[in-house]
Amino acid sequence: MPQQPLLSKEQKENLAILEPQLKSCVRSADLERAKRITGKIQNLLRPTGHETRILQAKNWLYETAMEANSLTFAKMGFEGTIQKSNKNTRLHLEAISLLAICYLREANLDRSRDLIIKAVESINNIKSEDRRKQFHRRLIERLEEESILVGLKDESGTPLALEEVDQHTIKLVMTKSENQIYLEMGQAVPQRSIDLLSDVRDTYTMRLPGPDRKLLPSPITEENKEELGKRASSALKRVAWRAVCSPNSEIYKAWSQGLSVVYDKKYIAGAIVASFNSVSISAVMIAASAAALAIKFGAEVFCETFAPNSMMIDRKEKS
């Protein structure tokens, strides 16, 4: 792709507003808003031939689609980015990585494995060891989180019952510390999730040069239930955060009245149960642990700590 022309002052000013708005759509999974903002960015940049910057915006759009569970739209978009971008660029690598996640979410493990291998091979194009380490950490941790989520989903499972989840939530809040709640969550992670974790890790390291293996974070093992619970909690933030932290939700508004209002009306457990049922997660202790953590953290800390992050690297990041 030819070298991009310099951005005008007007383009820079507009992008400084539009791009953060677009990136925020990934967190909220607001696909319709992401489409509108991407259209504005495309109209702003296309006349001057800034195609690479447009592709970057579209990657955020497709990642938003992935988070909104519009996987067909997301897959087609990432395939387009892969075809149009230079193979040695971060943009190309991010599209391959996110496409691998799409297929992992569909439990299409064969296709996901192929893309994980391609992504690992592409990471070798990053010359800086610090940046390779950064991308390895982001990708392997995200793939492990997605593996846990896939293993938790059970289309044939019995939907969660609010009363049962709420009872366990109250018990956890009253009797367990934060680390003990993570332990409870880790013990409730099903074997399928653990097997997927191992499979993804093996696939990832298969084509990884020996020296780069030391750049990976330590693996999550079945024996360390507390760490497994922490990783499960991180995985579930993509479900729990939107249930609890959307500024337009009743639970978020109630939080402004004080935690007791939310707790008494079972707002947190109810939001968690509804969101988990919507994605076929039916493990009672997983849901109760997530609700208990939300209560223990409190609104502001929970919503900041558990906010989902984009896989894509911000242009301003240096390491």
274-296, pLDDT tens digit by residue? 889 988 999 999 999 999 988 88
CATH of domain 9-125: 1.25.40.10
158 pLDDT higher than 80:
yes
Residue 192 CA: distances (Å) to CA of 102, 176, 178: 18, 26, 25
Write down the pLDDT at residue 317.
45
8 A C-beta contact, residue 283 and residue 190:
yes
Ordered by start, the domain boundaries in the chain are 9-125, 158-190+223-305
Q: How many CB atoms lie within 10 A of CB 187?
A: 14
> pTM above the 0.75 mark?
yes
String of DSSP letters for 116-131: HHHHHHHHTT---HHH
How far apart (Å, rounded) are the C-alpha atoms in residues 294 and 254?
14
Per-residue pLDDT reduced to its tens digit, 72-89:
999 999 999 999 999 999
> How far does the chain reach from its first CA to its final CA, in angstroms?
26
**Rounded Cα–Cα distance for residues 160 and 197 (Å):** 25
Tens digits of per-residue pLDDT, 6-18?
A: 899 999 999 999 9
